[in-house]
Structure 1
Amino acid sequence: MTETLSTENGRTVLRMRRELRHPAEKVWRAITEPSQLAGWFPATVEFDLRLDGPVTFTFEEDPGAPVDEQSTGVIRAYDPPRLLEYTWGVEVLRWELEPSPDGCTLHLTATYDDRPGSASFSGGWTLCFDALVRVLGGSVPERDYAVLHEHFVKVYGLDQGVVTDDGGVRFERQLVKPKEKVWELLAGAETAAVGSVPPAGFVAKGIDPGSATEVTAAERLTYTWSQGDVTWALRDGNGGARLVLTQTGPAADYLDAWHDLIEALAAELVR
């Protein structure tokens, strides 16, 4: 299996491929029939298999969730047993089967807007493809999602921060544990409180922190430094917490220090 990540027409495009030792017709049934999809796809799917046919997605953990634009889609291309493309909310999934001497090649092209979530999507689809192989009658060793996630973060360069136009620093990083666990590791044995110096885990090397000006446990911490503010913001993301860290002021010199701190945190969360 190979993976590539690109930006096309302003959207993120993830391409994945897997060689399968089964004919295209057999794999086609596995990617279109609900009874087989149930064994590997991340949601329960109901298809009306025709061009412009509706699609509905339901997650097992919340079967009573209301049907909205994020749980429905429409078939945009349909050419059995070669091509199936449909929307899933604002995401587009394109499945292509190419015959090969040993079976067929499965191509997945996913188009979406959340580039920082790409490692989560790649890790998740990797596990789905492993489950697909088992549905088809094959055997694949079990893999750890968190390890896969961190592998793809490095492959795609999603661990890198940016210097903003005003000279500040910004990181957006998907993590593999809930925000409560992330906060616990950052705070350690200390307590974060407005008016107090933030716990050491929230401070990159070389920064002399001022007092915290905003604290919402497991969600947000802002403190001053000599030329601006530092803000840690955590929210629920795909597979764990989504971290957005910003430092205002002339902060480019701290880019590497923040990178090292965030990556040490991410490595600790995988253990």
Structure 2
Amino acid sequence: MDPTLGTHTDGRPALRFERRLKHPPELVWRAITEPEQLRAWYPIRALTIDLRVGGRIEFEGMHAVVTQLDPPRVFAFSEHAPPEMQRESDDLIHFTLTPDGDGCLLVFTHVFDDRPAAASYGSGWNLCLNALLAHVNSEEFRMERPSDAHHEQLIHQFALDQGSVTPVGDGYQVRFERQLTRPVEDVRAALGDLDADPSVRIELSQGTGHGARLELTQTVASEADADLDGWRQRIEDLVRRVTAG
């Protein structure tokens, strides 16, 4: 099941996943709280877990703090973003396990800062949760990069392809911010004449994961001159060029 994108009580975006597992909560609990099992499916390598509220979790390159603990039902922790993740602060990871017949229902929630990254997080977590299911089922799972198609599906599902128009000075600013799945150099090579108009400014930077972040702005004289549909289509064309190879 694809995730839903909502808003957490603190106002930040929140992704929510549901997975039904054929195993009881006690078995799945070990897969999410024991470092050696967490390493089998979690995207960041877990080293140690001090399993108590306020306890520290050591990952390779970052750390987290346990914020909720109710075995074998609720496990939550706050990840402190490393310096290279400048768009994030302290993400919240939350697991709830509810008995469901002979198995259980897993509800996984990720609360974060960088809303344009929601599709990237969504497609990535989808793979990780599939790996978790395979792990508890004692099945082999080949972890690959998230698919471009699923990423773009979530871009549209979450309305992350929509631009904005805001008053600025004597005119208006058109703005799009779009997470892509390919590196900055690939996107730059595929830009073509997207920024041929001197009123258009395009910035490319490292985004979430391995892909580039595209930020496009244009200043226009009136709100009627803001061609959001046209720019959205041109960005879609760019995405197709970049991912075609």
Q: TM-score, normalised by structure 2?
A: 0.86
**Structure 2 unaligned residues grouped into runs of 5+:** 81-89
Partner of 1:130 in structure 2? Answer: 130
Q: Match for 1:88: what amino acid?
A: E
Q: TM-score, normalised by structure 1?
A: 0.78
CA distances 1:74-118 after superposition (whole Å, capped 9, x unpaired)? 101101110001000110111110110141111111111100000
**Structure 1 unaligned residues grouped into runs of 5+:** 59-64, 66-70, 188-199, 204-208, 210-223
Q: Match for 1:85: what amino acid?
A: A
1:253 aligns with 2:244: no
Identity value in percent: 40
Q: Distance in 2 between matches of 1:5 and 1:110?
A: 10
Among candidates 159, 166, 169, match of residue 161 of structure 2:
159
For the aligned residue pairs, the C-alpha RMSD in angstroms reads 1.9
Question: Which segment is superposed worse, 27-36 or 1-10?
Answer: 1-10
Is the CA contact 2:195–2:201 (under 8 Å) kept in the aligned structure 1? no
1:84 aligns with 2:68: no
CA distances 1:189-242 after superposition (whole Å, capped 9, x unpaired)? xxxxxxxxxxx2434xxxxx3xxxxxxxxxxxxxx2xxxx21100000113000
Q: Secondary structure of the residue that 2:160 maps to in structure 1?
A: coil
CA distances 1:153-210 after superposition (whole Å, capped 9, x unpaired)? 11101011111233210000000000100001114xxxxxxxxxxxx2434xxxxx3x
Is the CA contact 1:168–1:246 (under 8 Å) kept in the aligned structure 2? yes
Q: Secondary structure of the residue that 1:52 maps to in structure 2?
A: coil
Query: Considering only CA atoms, is the larger Rg found in Structure 1 or Structure 2?
Result: 1
Q: How many pairs align?
A: 225
Q: Distance in 1 between matches of 2:102 and 2:141?
A: 18
Is the CA contact 2:220–2:226 (under 8 Å) kept in the aligned structure 1? no
Q: Distance in 1 between matches of 2:70 and 2:125?
A: 23
Partner of 2:243 in structure 1? Answer: 270
Q: Distance in 2 between matches of 1:180 and 1:257?
A: 24
Dislocated runs of 4+, deviation >4 Å: 138-144
1:116 aligns with 2:116: yes
